Amino acid sequence: MYLLHGTLIRSILTWGLYVLLPAPKQEIISHHNGDGELITITSQLPLPIIWQFVHLLVWVTWTLVLVGLSVLWRNKVDLISVQLAKNLEEVMMGKKSFFRSGQGNSFDKTGVAAEPMDFLGDEKFSF
């Protein structure tokens, strides 16, 4: 989840909060105090209730997208990465040949280069 979290904050959540929602309205009040100094007070006016609901909806949608993509990442990308790492480890440890022919060299008996091994194994992954 941590790999997706920052990306989704900088893309979806930022767009939702700063493009979709209206900018907060500010009220600026200036007056003179008893010493003749100008005092300026800036206050932020609350958004209408519909925009507060949309704000909540943006956060809930972002959270659901984050969790959904995290589950998809865990079920698909991590599975492929683990399988690739296991196969590469077996090749480096000498338990498995880099080439499918199993001869350990790059040419078969006819002098034609052997086909390189598929590092994801024989399992087929579908998205």
| DSSP states along 32-91 | E-TTS-EEEEEEEPPPPHHHHHHHHHHHHHHHHHHHHHHHHIIIIIHHHHHHHHHHHHHH
pLDDT tens for each residue of 56-77: 999 999 999 999 999 999 898 8
Tokens 């992954």 belong to 125
- Top-ranked range on mean pLDDT: pick from 45-54, 56-65, 101-110: 56-65
Q: Is the pLDDT of residue 102 over 70?
A: no
Region of residue 43 (left: phi > 0; alpha: psi -120 to 50; beta: else): beta
